[in-house]
Amino acid sequence: MANHNQAHDGHGESHGSLKSYIIGFVLSIVLTIIPLVVVMNEMFDKKTNTVIILIAAVLQFAVQLLFFMHLREEKKPRYNLTSLILGLIILLVIVGGSIWIMTYNAVAV
C-alpha cells in the first residue's frame, strides 16, 4: 500500500519550494518594473533604453527557466542543456525578429 502512494506523489521528481517560488516571483516583478520605469520616465536615450529592455528580458528568461521551469533540478544534465539551447534559440529568434521588424518599420515610416 505504501508503494502505491509513493508512485502518485510526483514520480520521484522534486518541485520548487515556496521560498524559490517567492524569490522567482519577486525577481520577475523587479525585472518587469525596471524597464517600465526607465521607459516611462525617459531616463536615457533610445539606444540605452533598448539595451536595458533587452538585458531585462534575458534575465527574465533566465529567472523563468531556473525558478519556475526547474531547469537546474533535472536529474539528467543532457536534458538541461538541450532545453537551455532550445530556449536560447527561441529567445534569439523572437528578440532578433522583433528588433528587425521595429528597425525596418521605423525606416519605412
> Which domain range does residue 37 map to?
2-108
Contact 71, 83 (CB under 8 A): yes
Amino acid at 83: S
Three-class secondary structure of residue 10 per DSSP: coil
Distance of CA 93 to the CA centre of its chain: 14
In a structure prediction context, what are the per-residue pLDDT tens digits for the chain, which is 109 residues long? Answer: 455 444 444 455 556 688 888 999 999 999 999 999 999 999 999 999 999 999 999 899 888 878 887 766 666 666 777 877 888 899 889 989 998 998 888 765 5
Total-model pTM: 0.62
| Structure confidence at residue 67 (pLDDT) | 85
Q: What's the number of domains the chain is made of?
A: 1
